[in-house]
Amino acid sequence: MVERRSPLPIEQCLSVVMPAYNESATIAEIIAQVLESPFTAELVVV
For the chain, the domains span 13-45
pTM of the model: 0.60
Contact 10, 37 (CB under 8 A): no
- State how far the Cα of 26 lies from the Cα of 20, in Å rounded to an integer: 9
For 19-35, the pLDDT digits (tens) are: 999 999 999 998 998 88
Cα three-residue angle 18-46-22, rounded to 5 degrees:
85
Share of the chain above pLDDT 90, in %: 35
- Contact residues for 44 (Cβ-Cβ < 8 A; gap 6+): 15, 16, 17, 18
DSSP-assigned states of every residue in 22-35:
T-TTTHHHHHHHHH
